[in-house]
Amino acid sequence: MRTTILYSPGDVRFEARDEPKILAPTDAILRLSATCVCGSDLWPYRGLQPVTQPQAMGHEYCGIVEEVGSAVKTVKPGQFVVGSFCISDNTCPICKAGYPSSCIHREFMTGAQAPMARVPLADGTLVATRELPSDDLIPGLLATSDVFGTGWFAADAANVRPGMTVAVVGDGAVGLCAVLSAKQMGAERIIAMSRHETRQRIARDFGATDIVTERGADGIARIKELTKGLGADAVLECVGTQESMQQALGATRPGGYVSFVGVPHGVQLDGQGLFFAQVHLHGGPAPVRRYLPELIDLVLERKVDPGKVFDLLLPLDQVAEAYRAMDERRAIKTLLRP
């Protein structure tokens, strides 16, 4: 088969490799129905994260189980499954506490921008559907694997409750899914921060009631203006830069909640500023596995369609173009079909 390898910044190749094999009795091999490029794949692609050796790329995936190791009990060949980008056993004390993304046996999924992939700890990582889903649901199901699960965590970690005013920093796929999640959790007012017309349109479609185009101090001032000078009850930070984190902390009312789900790059927090902001702060890699059963059902019942974040569909062998399109912001997120 051919698979996606990042050699160095900007150099993505689709190359021949052996098909994955069962290496441990807890592994499963999947034939992928769809995969995609993640915003976080752009960090090494842009050279903002070092690439020391060629890397197999891809951690968002769904597909049909091809083969399982001898110890796998909860999924079987022929089933359709979705898995998290974090590999977890789902049995350790950290998993039981609701944080499979920090499982004591955690690994990060790789090699999913390929026709087939090996998933370690299959029982703890994969969730099977009762029947094979119809093809038009595949993008939405794929989104649960990372961006929808992460957006859901952004809203959950910021304690979004019915009637709250929520602001979302970031209009990438995760930010848009955070809007969708806040809406599902009953937020009354959802302020999306975005300067891009197509992203603003999806944000509104997902439930945003207000759009703020300003950034930095102006963005904070605008959110305060929209919230009687107080700040939002919850701010969901879905980028991971110093600017976006400052934006989130500055736009939250005292006693409110800030969640942060974008992988931080160069973010520094000032203790004194944090002290007087007096906000709840919770974030990290999203415990997607915890949410998967619920999110899969929301998609299968057609209550939500997070698959709308995929605005470019390409065959998998054009994966290099998928990276380029996202890097140049011509696409929000690219869906790849083997």
Q: Does 191 bind Zn ion (CB under 5 A)?
A: no
Q: Does 233 bind Zn ion (CB under 5 A)?
A: no
Q: How far is the CB of 89 from Zn ion (least distance, A)?
A: 4
Binding Zn ion (rule: CB under 5 A), the pick from 22, 56, 64, 92 is 92
> Helix (H, G, I), strand (E, B), or coil: what is residue 55?
strand
Binding Zn ion (rule: CB under 5 A), the pick from 12, 29, 72, 103 is 103
Q: How far is the CB of 102 from Zn ion (least distance, A)?
A: 8
Q: How far is the CB of 105 from Zn ion (least distance, A)?
A: 6
Q: How far is the CB of 114 from Zn ion (least distance, A)?
A: 26
CA distances from 101 to 107, 150, 156, 164 (A): 9, 11, 15, 27
Reference 170, options 152, 184, 151; nearest CA is 151
- Of the candidate spans 90-98, 142-150, 202-210, 280-288, the one that interacts with Zn ion by CB under 5 A turns out to be 90-98
Q: How far is the CB of 290 from Zn ion (least distance, A)?
A: 11
Q: How far is the CB of 137 from Zn ion (least distance, A)?
A: 29
- Of the candidate spans 67-75, 100-108, 241-249, 275-283, the one that interacts with Zn ion by CB under 5 A turns out to be 100-108
Q: Is the dihedral of CA 126, 129, 135, 139 positive or negative?
A: negative
Q: In whole angstroms, give the CA distance from residue 111 to residue 101.
A: 18
Binding Zn ion (rule: CB under 5 A), the pick from 95, 192, 288, 319 is 95
Q: How far is the CB of 297 from Zn ion (least distance, A)?
A: 23
Six-digit token string for 249? 């902390």
User: What proportions of the chain, in percent to the nearest 5, are helix, strand and coil?
Assistant: 35, 25, 40
- Of the candidate spans 92-100, 179-187, 188-196, 252-260, the one that interacts with Zn ion by CB under 5 A turns out to be 92-100
Partners of 67 in the beta sheet?
29
Q: Does 89 bind Zn ion (CB under 5 A)?
A: yes
Partners of 252 in the beta sheet?
232
On whether the CB atoms of residues 32 and 129 are closer than 8 A, the answer is: no
By C-beta, is 41 or 123 nearer to Zn ion? 123
- Of the candidate spans 87-95, 141-149, 237-245, 305-313, the one that interacts with Zn ion by CB under 5 A turns out to be 87-95
CA distances from 55 to 10, 21, 45 (A): 13, 18, 11
By C-beta, is 89 or 123 nearer to Zn ion? 89
On whether the CB atoms of residues 313 and 34 are closer than 8 A, the answer is: no
> Helix (H, G, I), strand (E, B), or coil: what is residue 26?
coil
**Residue ranges binding Zn ion (CB under 5 A):** 88-89, 92, 95, 103
